[in-house]
Chain A
Amino acid sequence: GDSVTQTEGLVTLTEGLPVMLNCTYQTIYSNPFLFWYVHYLNESPRLLLKSSTDNKRTEHQGFHATLHKSSSSFHLQKSSAQLSDSALYYCALSDNYGGSGNKLIFGTGTLLSVKP
């Protein structure tokens, strides 16, 4: 079945350094939809960005990601980490083959900890 892999459970960075959180996926579908959700402590997970267009960079709130179907990847990047970026980040794949309404397949999440 479909799956999403996030290899890093914890990423610790110093403020100002670049961020890259890895995400790869497996799906039989030729046109996948990929998402990044951010989950701050004691809040709800919320959508950060999404894409289904191959090789096109999508950006939101300083973060960006590019879907690469050739490598089945959708890595999340930011040029300069801020303290407020500390949160749990989930990569997710949309699964909707049966027309019954989609569901999201989540990775295990990467906890980003940004230190001064």
Chain B
Amino acid sequence: GPKVLQIPSHQIIDMGQMVTLNCDPVSNHLYFYWYKQILGQQMEFLVNFYNGKVMEKSKLFKDQFSVERPDGSYFTLKIQPTALEDSAVYFCASSLVRGRDSDYTFGSGTRLLVI
């Protein structure tokens, strides 16, 4: 079936540096999401994005985080500057519709380690 691709699959970065996580969503999907999963914990919602705008963000979406999808290219999550507590797996997802029954297609995650 259709896939969400996440690039890179792994990233190690020095604390304080900038990192950009890339997501190539399903081509006809309109809604995009980032979730964060710290080792041993559940996936937690960060942000959803539609029509070029952030629709909703959680308290985990710190001021150092930003998202964009310029001209239908990658949907990106940028963290600048990074902190040790940003180490986690970040999952991108997309959906065609926004209703409560909408099916998400997830990527396989980017494992970010901040050292």
Q: CB within 8 Å of B: which residues of A? A: 4, 33, 37, 42-47, 50, 52, 90, 94-96, 98, 100-109
Contact = CB atoms under 8 A, between A and B. Distances in A.
Interface stretch (B67-75, B80-88, B98-106): B98-106
A109 B31 CA distance: 24
Most buried by B among A46, A96, A101: A101
B35 to A, nearest CB: 8
Nearest to B50: A101
B18 interface: no
7 contacts: A100-B48, A100-B56, A101-B56, A102-B102, A103-B33, A104-B45, A106-B43
A46 B102 contact: no
Closest 5 CB pairs of A and B: A100-B55, A94-B100, A101-B98, A103-B45, A106-B42
B100 A109 contact: no
Contacts of B43: 45, 90, 104, 106
B104 A47 contact: yes
Interface string B93-115: 00000111111111111000000
A96 B51 CA distance: 18
Given A100-B48, A101-B31, A104-B45, 18 more contacts: A44-B4, A44-B91, A45-B43, A45-B91, A46-B105, A47-B103, A94-B100, A95-B100, A96-B99, A100-B55, A101-B50, A102-B100, A103-B33, A103-B48, A104-B43, A104-B104, A106-B42, A106-B43
Contacts of B50: 101
Nearest to B55: A100
Nearest to B107: A44
B42 A102 contact: no
A98 B45 CA distance: 15
A90 B42 contact: yes
A98 B50 CA distance: 14
Contacts of B109: 44
B48 A101 contact: yes
